[in-house]
Copies of this chain bind each other. A is one copy, B any other.
Amino acid sequence: MSNPFLRKMENFTPLSEDQQRQIMDLTAAPVFFDARESVVHEGDDPTSVNIMMSGWACRQKTLPDGRRQILSLFLPGDMCDPYVFLLGRMDYAIGTLTPCTIAKVEAQSIRDMTASGPQLAEALWGQTLVTLDTQRELSISLGRRTAVERLAHLICEVLARLADVGLSNGTICDWPLTQNDLADVTGMSTVHVNRSLQELRTDGLIELRSRRLAVLDHARLAALAIFDPAYLHHRKR
């Protein structure tokens, strides 16, 4: 299996053999995590950068009274936070949703990468800008989309991102998220997630059971979600 992180980097710039090896080396010795484990705590002083090699994780924040919001999903190939170590403090926790393998890259390695020339540096910048746009798209969902639209949008996004690293054909994929997780991503209650999912099902848009998702009518789903993949900035493939 090819390296999903390498794949995402190449999405931004063509890489020399040497650079490819450099990146492979960084991610050579990933760490294993169980499902529902904590990877980084809020308030930690970050010294390394996490790169997802397999599994699903998320960035989240829990308010003092227990309200929880998932801020982003991490899928294979995603880099959790290039350069976080500059800030000296993690403002949000990172936790796994499924068993994961995660590469821990030291700050110095990142600095070396960017010092080695503008190409890798700009690939990192590019990734970060896409992360930003993704976060903005979530803000739009939470602020202005209805419950069903939010779910539809999330499904479209995840499917596109998985497809980008070869983990989906754009229609079918693994779906490890519980309805509770889904509620915390989309800012709604579990019960309402359940009902909204049923709406998507009875409208013939998706099929979802035993941790597998199939989109039955992608065009209609995307239209309902007002989903425009431009913000993901995926290159043709």
Instruction: Write the residues of chain A forming the contact surface with B, with a CB cutoff of 8 angstroms.
Output: 12, 59, 61, 63-64, 67-69, 71-72, 81-84, 86-87, 89, 91-92, 111, 114-115, 118, 121-122, 125-126, 128-133, 135-136, 138-140, 142-144, 186-187, 226, 230-231, 233
Contacts and interface: CB of A to CB of B under 8 A. Distances in A.
A140 B61 contact: yes
A132 to B, nearest CB: 6
A129 B71 contact: no
A34 to B, nearest CB: 25
Contacts of A143: 69, 142, 186-187
Prevailing SS type, chain A contact patch: helix
Copies of chain A in the complex: 2
A24 to B, nearest CB: 24
Nearest to A71: B136
A87 B233 contact: yes
A131 B129 contact: no
A89 B135 contact: no
Contact of A114 (B12, B69, B121, B226): B121
A233 B87 CA distance: 7
Contact of A69 (B71, B83, B92, B140): B140
